[in-house]
Amino acid sequence: MDQLIKDSLLFLKSNAEQTTSLTIWELIFALSSSLFCSIFIGWVYRATHRGVGYSQSYVHSLVLTSLVTTVIMIVIGSNIARAFSLVGALSIIRFRNAIKETRDVGFIFFAMGVAMANGTRFHGVAIVATVYIAGTMLFLFFTNYAGNQQNRERLLRVQLPPGLDPSTALDETLSDLFESFSIVLVESIRQGMLTEVLYSVRPKANLAPTQVIDEISKVNSNLKVSYNYAMHTDDI
């Protein structure tokens, strides 16, 4: 009985040879291992995600990327010619979607690394790495590691009518609303008829966004005011 168990789990060994062909059960096990690992990775990503940019499609892409990478590694095996052929075939693909958060790139590499381990029969490595790295991400999330205890900076975009100096027009109002503020960008809009000013601001405690808009509207003649209340992460 012990020998049967050892034989059935032989392909779980981290030093499995890459030159031998996979059986259908080994192929199914490799794909299933990548599937469960990537689903767990996706759950960790969702549980630790902060902000408003969460995408279900991105989580599905993590699972799909993991499965496809596993198949690719199985096909390549130890064949150098296949590896170079695959690089040439994939070089025609162009990716246009921008990754907004740095941690999203890390999760992509996380899923790909686990898939590569499963595709090369390092199943033990894949499982241990998934648990260890996922545990690390959960630890960082719940301990708020390296978090900034101060109020985060936010963006304030204000349109000003002609005749108002962008550098001084709102100083008094902004001093009452925010702990600190600074001008990031000044540009003319509507063929020079208006001036638009972008501020980086640090709000005072319990500051309501409606209060910001109401106070600034008194100065800028009720022109457009945009206050990014969530975070200072949008593209300028």
Distance between CA 100 and CA 28 in Å, rounded? 34
149-187: pLDDT as tens digits? 555 788 899 999 888 888 888 999 999 999 889 999 899
Q: Residues 200, 174: contact at Cβ < 8 Å?
A: no
Mean pLDDT score, 51-73: 90
Architecture of the domain whose range is 154-227: 2-Layer Sandwich (3.30)
Residue reference for tokens 């205890």 = 149
Instruction: Give 2-28 pLDDT, tens digit per residue.
Output: 554 454 444 444 444 454 567 899 999
Q: Of 30, 228, 38, nearest to 129 (Cα)?
A: 38
Instruction: Please say whether the beta carbons of 38 and 127 come within 8 A.
Output: no
pLDDT of residue 5: 47
Mean pLDDT of 92-110: 78
Cβ 125 vs Cβ 13: under 8 Å = no
Give yes or no for a contact between 117 and 41, defined as CB atoms under 8 angstroms apart: no
Contact 34, 81 (CB under 8 A): no
* pTM strictly above 0.85: no
Mean predicted confidence (pLDDT) in 116-138: 94
* Mean pLDDT (whole number) for 206-220: 88
Structure tokens at 62: 């993590």
The DSSP output letter for 92 is T
3-state helix, strand, coil in the chain (%, to 5): 50, 15, 35
Mean pLDDT in residue range 75-102: 70
The ranges assigned to domains in the chain are 2-142, 154-227
